[in-house]
Amino acid sequence: MEDVTITILLLGDEKVGKTTFLSRISGGSSSLDGHAPITLLRDIDQPFVFEIKNRKRTYRLKFYDTSCPENWRLLKPDLVLICYDVSQRESLISMQRIWIKEVHSTFQTSDHLPVVVVGLKRDLRSGSNPNGVTHPEEGYKVSQDMRVDKYVECSAVTGELLKLAFEEICNTAAKTVVESGGQSEGGCVIL
């Protein structure tokens, strides 16, 4: 069985839920339903490594959060996850104005680098939220405008759609090691 290491970089504003997302998936497949308690990971322990196995390969997914290493621009990621908080419109705007531009200006391979937008904190979406809640359609539209490969949403706290989101991230990561790459054909896919 062949072992493959894939570097995944999480980008996004502070406090959008990246650490909670990584902490939840670090508990393994049994914690993805949201019932197990979350033990928050520490930034100094990065990269966070997860092993995924199928019949042909073992994939070592090395996740890096933007808070560490100090200069994430030195990394050479195989996959970028741009994260935002669905309960905070500012983070959606920041994703479009700042983070996608950072990807294109920082990584020379940005034409071939797959990018997935991850809407986090789905459990905090409510119509009465004064902070400018966003709806899935808006996140998807912005993702299409940014010309990313996929759009997923989930809640790391409740586990809502977390398993599906993680599976899509893993599938995209696995595709980065094949000749066709991890980019989707013809634009953004909503999941």
pLDDT number for residue 184? 59
What are the strands of the beta sheet with 79-85, ordered from one edge?
48-53, 57-65, 2-11, 79-85, 115-120, 150-153, 189-190
Q: What is the pTM of this model?
A: 0.88
pLDDT number for residue 96? 92
Q: What six digits make up the tokens of 76? A: 């050479």
Task: State how far the Cα of 2 lies from the Cα of 59, in Å rounded to an integer.
Answer: 9
pLDDT number for residue 188? 46
Ranges in the chain, pLDDT < 70: 1, 67-70, 109-110, 127-131, 179-191
